[in-house]
Structure 1
Amino acid sequence: MQVFHNKSKVIVTCNKRLAPYLAEEIKDLGYTIVREFPTGAELEITMSQCIKLNLNLRCASQVLYKIASFKAKNPDDLYNAVKLIEWEKLINSTGYFSVTSNVDNPTITTPLFANLKVKDAIADRILELKGLRPNSGSEVNKTVIHLYWKENEADIFIDTSGETLAKHGYRKIPGKAPMLEALAAGTILATKWDRNSPFVNPMCGSGTLAIEAALIATNRRPGLYRMNYGFMHVLGYEEEVFFEERRNLKDQVIKNKKIKIIASDISEDAVDVSRKNAKTAGVDGLIEFYVCDFRETPIPENAGTIIFNPEYGERLGVHHKLELTYKAMGDFMKQNCKGYYGYIFTGNPDLTKKIGLKAERKIEFYNGKLDCRLLEYELYSGSKRIDTRIQSSLPNE
């Protein structure tokens, strides 16, 4: 089974509402998308081509390569169909594999049972043919098989990623309520930041937004921070393809980038965590860290981007303290950030009413299961009304 050189359906998944930014990433890498959907994109490529996706994508979760499709009404049908696949050409008989699934079938009450049927079918076939039964379990750090089973239609994939791509590998200390790296990257890609002007992140927490900004600005890809993927544990894997792609990642890094990235937090512990995470990512020299109230964050002159990710508070019943904080963020941007694009990422629509600015855009995201918005504010250096009046007084060309 020449999976590394044969084209097949590939599904690249992501968290809900990250799909538009994922699609742009995939296209920028030179791939053609067959279909886009709310949680990912479909391509037609080889598993070797999946290696580049795994190393480069910032917004993705998994890269799944299809090896079989069949009909299955019940668990017995599933077992029989899976057992027909030539697993001995994919999984080492002395190796280790795990099974994940997305199941919507009336005969299945828990996806764990479907996972077990797939595991048994794979192990039984290899045992019968090789005399050895590979180990299996819940860890996804070796060969990972994914089952997609809806009604009577089932697809079997090799999960070429293994551990999720949504974590970028540099954040060894998460901090309090951290934003997932893929979400942080998608949030930045949704802004109008040009990757050259100043990027300011007050209330930085564990530093994820500032670090992702530094990574994007210098074209450092997530593959630089990871050395284990699911595709490495599939028979036929050619490691030179991986190492060549990794060399390309290193060559593409923009060295000696002149850029101003500022991160601040009132918590000394948070700033300490941010510094350590930035050092692991190799971008600590690109970020200026400050321990201070957000209102004391230094703002470079002229134009730039400022982004807040404040606490959301309770969905029902707004805390008075947070109301004051949201109002203060709006006042700070109006008074100190003229000429900037301002952004506030929040999951509390009631608190946004206290900001005192009208959002130019409200971009939808999810943070976990929480419905969130990235609010965009154009912070004019002068009066928009005056600018418009001056423009209207000019003669028509």
Structure 2
Amino acid sequence: MRVFELIAPCHFGLEAVLKREILDLGYEISSVEDGKVTFLGDWEAVCYANIFLRTTERILVKVGAFTARSFDELFEGTKALPWEQFLPEDGKFWVTKANSIKSKLFSPSDIQSIMKKAMVERMKQAYGRSTFPETGASYPVRVSLYKDVVTVCLDTSGESLHKRGYRKLTAKAPISETLAAALIMLTPWKEDRVFVDPFCGSGTFVIEAAMMAAHIAPGVNRNFQAESWTNLIDPEIWEDVREEARGMEQRDASTDIQGYDIDGEIIRAARENAKLAGVEHMIHFQQRPVSLMSHPKKYGFLITNPPYGERIGDKEELFSLYSELGKRFAALDSWSAYLITSYEDTERCMGRKADKNRKIYNGMMKTYFYQFLGPKPPKRQEKEIEA
């Protein structure tokens, strides 16, 4: 099978997590840049990446790259790409998204229009016809311009990969599934350790943790754009990869994962989402304020996305909430806490300086991932923690 450069976008600051995931799948990394990891793979790799990767937003197949400082150069560069190797005669093709940074060409609509015309001209030459019905499968194109270098890709995923298919009901300020998974993977949490989210909202953190514990591939129950590309990918490959993913599942895994929220309606929504994800039996949900958070076991993990102005507007109320969280965390025996928030007084409220602090963009909002590290359990006890 032909090998391509496959581009996997991710949240800024979390490239190392995605890189480790790709290496674990067995693929070679060709470059790591801000917000994306590029690796080498064939069409089978497209299937594996879409189904198994937890922390990328989509999988793009790089068609080509060239320099363009004028619209004429953009047209000719696009026309020179081998579109006929990807697009069938009846394929529907268009530039679904164009973004430009530090480049002379910056109008997305003009970039999209000119590239579409250039693609049509190339297809005319390749197929010897003047019009195209575009009645077949869809082949959306994504293009990025950075310092006048145009990178052109086919989007194999379609809907963003954060849409696992389980989150039908959401809280007002949910964290995305891909971001939640990446943040959990930044911690040393394993399925035999306690996991508590005292502000669980619609349940994203605890559901992602349970899916990891059960080895449920994040994309196993959803569809992808490239499944309709039968001219490029044999449908049996998709079936084989899904079958392999389902064979790895351990839905009877023993866990202690707990999600709390003060809002009873939100807890009901979280429980329904967990049911859709197939992990409801692995998570204990409860309507409970943070002031009542406690746990008898040692060496647990508190991982959460607390309110930071979205649901609570009063700064005094926010300070009180975070201070209560700090008190409850201090009362836990040998635990670690991980908080993603934009609230500037987090450390003061928690009563200590974070051991580590990482800047993360949650959507367009700049946040910080505060890491308050507890002691490691003695090695001889690590396997006995949950006994």
**Offset at residue 183 of structure 1 (A):** 0.7
RMSD: 2.5
Q: Within 2, Cα distance between the matches of 1:88 and 1:32?
A: 27
Give the CA deviation at 1:127: 5.2
1:251 matched to 2:250? The reply is: no
Mapping of residues 92-131 of structure 1, within 5 Å: 92-99=88-95, 100-104=97-101, 106-126=103-123, 129-131=128-130
Q: Residues 8 and 57 of structure 2 are in contact (CA less than 8 Å); yes or no, is this contact kept in structure 1?
A: yes
TM-score, structure 2 length as denominator? 0.88
Q: Is the 8 A contact 2:99 2:106 kept in 1?
A: no
Counterpart for residue 327 of structure 2: 331
Name the residue aligned to 2:316. Answer: 320
Aligned to 2:381: none
TM-score (normalizing by structure 1): 0.86
Q: Which amino acid aligns with 1:326?
A: Y
Other structure's SS at 1:223 match = coil
Which of 157, 163, 180 does residue 167 from structure 1 map onto?
163
**CA–CA distance in structure 2, aligned partners of residues 192 and 72 of structure 1:** 45
Alignment of 1:20-59 (within 5 A): 20-59=16-55
Partners of 2:204 and 2:291 lie apart in 1 by 20
8 Å contact kept, 2:294–2:328 = no
Give the counterpart of 1:363 among 338, 358, 361.
358
Q: Distance in 2 between matches of 1:81 and 1:355?
A: 55
- Structure 1 residue 200 displacement after superposition: 0.8
The CA distance in 2 between the partners of 1:318 and 1:116, in whole Å, is 47
Pair 1:124–1:381, CA change in 2 (3 A): closer
Which secondary structure state, in structure 2, belongs to the residue aligned with residue 91 of structure 1? coil
Report how far residue 359 of structure 1 moved.
1.9
Deviation at 1:305, TM superposition (A): 0.9
C-alpha distance in structure 2 between counterparts of 1:41 and 1:205, whole Å: 30
Query: CA contact under 8 A between 2:103 and 2:146: conserved in structure 1?
Result: no
Change (3 A) 1:152 1:231: farther
Q: Is the 8 A contact 2:156 2:226 kept in 1?
A: yes
For residue 213 of structure 1, report the CA deviation from its aligned partner. Answer: 0.6
Change (3 A) 1:365 1:346: same
Secondary structure of 1:62's partner? Answer: coil
Q: Which residue of 2 aligns with 1:133?
A: 132
Q: Could you tell me how far 1:284 is from its partner in structure 2?
A: 0.7
| Cα 1:241–1:378 shift into 2, 3 Å | same
Measure the CA separation in 2 of the matches of 1:103 and 1:157. 14
Q: Name the SS for the 1:353 alignment partner.
A: helix
Deviations along 1:176-215, one digit per CA (max 9) or x if unpaired, are 1100111100111111212211111111111100101101
2-structure distance, mates of 1:178, 1:21:
21
Structure 1 residue runs of 5 or longer lacking an equivalent are 383-397
Q: Which whole-Å CA distance do the structure 2 matches of 1:65 and 1:109 have between them?
A: 23
Alignment of 1:61-76 (within 5 A): 61-76=57-72
User: Which of the residues 19, 25, 41 maps onto 2:15?
Assistant: 19
State the secondary structure of the residue aligned to 1:34. Answer: strand
Give the SS at the match of 2:350.
coil
The CA distance in 1 between the partners of 2:374 and 2:145, in whole Å, is 49
Counterpart in the other structure of 1:266: 262
Distance 1:180 1:381 in 2: 29
Amino acid in the other structure paired with 1:57: L
Task: Report % sequence identity.
Answer: 28
Match of 1:144, SS state, is strand
Q: Give the corresponding residue for 1:208.
A: 204
Question: Which whole-Å CA distance do the structure 2 matches of 1:326 and 1:9 have between them?
Answer: 45
Distance (Å, rounded) in 2 between the aligned partners of 1:340 and 1:107 = 52
Stretches of structure 2 that go unaligned for 5 or more consecutive residues are: 378-387
| Post-superposition offset of 1:15 | 1.5
Question: Is residue 124–residue 133 contact of structure 1 (8 Å, CA) maintained in 2?
Answer: no
Q: Displacement of 1:106 after TM fit?
A: 5.0
Q: Contact 1:144/1:230 (CA < 8 Å) preserved in 2?
A: no
Deviations 1:51-108 (A, max 9, x none): 2111111110122222223333322222233234343442233332331223247543
1:11, 1:42 within 8 Å by CA — same for their partners in 2?
yes
CA distance in 2 between partners of 1:352 and 1:173 (Å) = 32
Matched, 1:85 2:84: no
